[in-house]
Amino acid sequence: MAKKTIDQIDVAGKTILMRVDFNVPLDESQQITDDRRIRMALPSIKSVIDRGGKLILISHLGRPGGNGFEEKFSLAPAASCLAGLLDQPVAMASDTIGEDAVAKAGSLTDGQVLVLENLRFNAGEKKGCEDFAGKLAALADGYCNDAFGTCHRSDASMVAVPQAMAGKPRVVGHLVAKEIQYLSDAIGTPAKPFVAILGGAKVSDKINVINHLLGICDAVLIGGAMAYTFSLAKGGQVGGSLIEKDKVDLAKELIAKGGDKLHLPVDTHCGDDFGDIAGCNKQVVAAGEIPDGWEGFDIGPETAKKYAAVIRDAKTVVWNGPMGVFEKPPMDEGTKTVAQAVADSDSISIIGGGDSAAAVDQLGFADQVSHVSTGGGASLAMLEGKAFAAVDLLDDTEA
């Protein structure tokens, strides 16, 4: 069932509590080094303030201990950045549910914005504490979830807060609505052929995803370091490559289950010094024939060519995890070839968050795909077919 969006509720004169993802990177002097997450929240923010609503923004940043204020994890830089983007003042509370937050929330006027301090300064956030959630909920007349990156979590701001606001409007923001449209709807009824590309370091991170996708995809393409665990499962030599020995039996099971659907690399681009990939000795070898003293750093050119051919015929593509060490040329070639194929394909193309999103952005293909997810862990969970309580309990659109 589609969820009601922030645009579909009356916000004039009302206070809306909006969960956003302002978990932005900061340098040592507390300067934001990438403000994309703040900019991506602007449509939902403007939907409230441009229609005369009062807006309270809540988010986490980093991993503070839950024992109170820690300056290096303060959301003050995010509030300052948002003020610049909106070209209007943004109030900042020094706490989340304390006197300052309550006073500033109560003094908001139509069209104004308040940012509360980092939710994780309070231990109740990670614990899903109902008391903490109830005090947050009491600040507003409605709730909006626009933080897809944490939708798979059971934190208080994601689940207990909207539960405490039963009877009040509880909706999704623009970002979450778009994620649901692509990741849930497109995967639930994908145009065929449906191709999944899975990379990254660990088979263990993707076990459930591979299992689920093998049941609904026409092809699952494996790359990244986890390919070497599969190679070991087939009796191959992996040299000093990154592997998970305790997942070899599981890899064997996935190979048996996958059959012709599961595509593994046929060659590997290797090097003999991870610390100096640009300057080290390099060679391309057949998959499963990596010599001692060498490590696999990328899928080889023949694999990239084969994968690109599969991708070009696809009508739906989901990609989570790079094919190699894409940050360090020339070991970006496999990821680059796959990205080019995705960009060139006549498909609905969905890029999972995290390293996949970074790779597509870094390689210049972000504007040539259908959707780049804002949440790595959340997009993985959705690819596993998991239900999200944080979304399920929000208001459905009327049929």
Half-sphere exposure of 339 (CA within 13 A, CB side): 27
**Would you please indicate which residues are annotated as catalytic (active-site) residues?**
37, 202, 354, 377
Determine if the pTM surpasses 0.95: no
- For residue 333, the SS3 value is helix
Please choose, from the candidates 207, 208, 295, 193, the residue with its C-alpha nearest in 3D space to the C-alpha of residue 243.
Answer: 295
Domains 6-174 and 181-383 share a fold: yes
- For residue 372, the SS3 value is strand
DSSP 146-210: --GGGTTS--TTTTHHHHHTTTS-EEE-HHHHHHIIIIIIIHHSPPSSEEEEE-SS-HHHHHHHH
Burial of 280 (0-12, 13-18, 19+ CB in 10 A): middle
Q: What is the pLDDT of residue 366?
A: 86
Q: Is pLDDT above 70 for 159?
A: yes
Q: What is the pLDDT of residue 353?
A: 67
Q: What is the pLDDT of residue 394?
A: 96
Answer positive or negative: Cα dihedral of 219, 225, 229, 235: positive
Residue 46: what are its φ and ψ, rounded to 5°? -70, -30
Least confident among 49-63, 139-153, 370-384? 370-384
Q: What is the pLDDT of residue 34?
A: 86
Q: How far apart are the first and last CA of the chain?
A: 9
> Do residues 218 and 192 touch, judged by C-beta distance below 8 A?
yes
Tens digits of per-residue pLDDT, 272-310?
999 999 999 999 999 999 999 999 999 999 999 999 999
What number is the average pLDDT over the span 218-243? 96
User: What is the spatial distance between Cα 268 and Cα 289, in angstroms, rounded to a whole number?
Assistant: 9
**Is residue 13 very low, low, confident or very high in pLDDT (cuts 50, 70, 90)?**
very high
Q: Which two tokens stand for residue 28?
A: 């040592």
Q: What is the pLDDT of residue 188?
A: 82
Give the bridge partners for 300, in sequence order. Answer: none
Q: Which two tokens stand for residue 181?
A: 């449209």
User: What is the spatial distance between Cα 38 and Cα 42, in angstroms, rounded to a whole number?
Assistant: 7
Tens digits of per-residue pLDDT, 59-108?
999 999 999 999 999 999 999 999 999 999 999 999 999 999 999 999 99
Q: What is the pLDDT of residue 393?
A: 95
What's the whole-number average pLDDT of the chain? Answer: 94
């039996």: which residue's tokens?
Answer: 249
Least confident among 91-100, 186-195, 292-301, 373-382? 373-382
Please choose, from the candidates 261, 270, 330, 312, the residue with its C-alpha nearest in 3D space to the C-alpha of residue 294.
Answer: 270
Q: What is the pLDDT of residue 298?
A: 97
Tens digits of per-residue pLDDT, 329-363?
999 999 999 999 999 999 999 998 678 888 888 88
**Is residue 187 very low, low, confident or very high in pLDDT (cuts 50, 70, 90)?**
confident
Please choose, from the candidates 278, 169, 175, 296, the residue with its C-alpha nearest in 3D space to the C-alpha of residue 226.
Answer: 296
What residues contact residue 17 under an 8 Å CB cut-off, 6+ apart? 56, 58, 136, 137, 139, 140, 142, 143, 144, 161, 165
Q: How far is CA 280 from CA 243, 272, 326, 331, in A?
A: 21, 6, 16, 12
User: What is the spatial distance between Cα 136 and Cα 165, in angstroms, rounded to a whole number?
Assistant: 10
Q: How far is CA 230 from CA 161, 248, 293, in A?
A: 43, 7, 19
**Is residue 399 very low, low, confident or very high in pLDDT (cuts 50, 70, 90)?**
low
Segments making up each domain of the chain, as ranges: 6-174, 181-383
**Is residue 1 very low, low, confident or very high in pLDDT (cuts 50, 70, 90)?**
low
What number is the average pLDDT over the span 22-32? 92
Q: Which two tokens stand for residue 263?
A: 């595509």
pLDDT > 90: percent of the chain: 81
Q: Which two tokens stand for residue 389?
A: 């309580």
User: What is the spatial distance between Cα 135 and Cα 97, in angstroms, rounded to a whole number?
Assistant: 6
Q: Is 6-174 CATH 3.40.1790.10?
A: no
Q: Is 181-383 CATH 3.40.50.1260?
A: yes
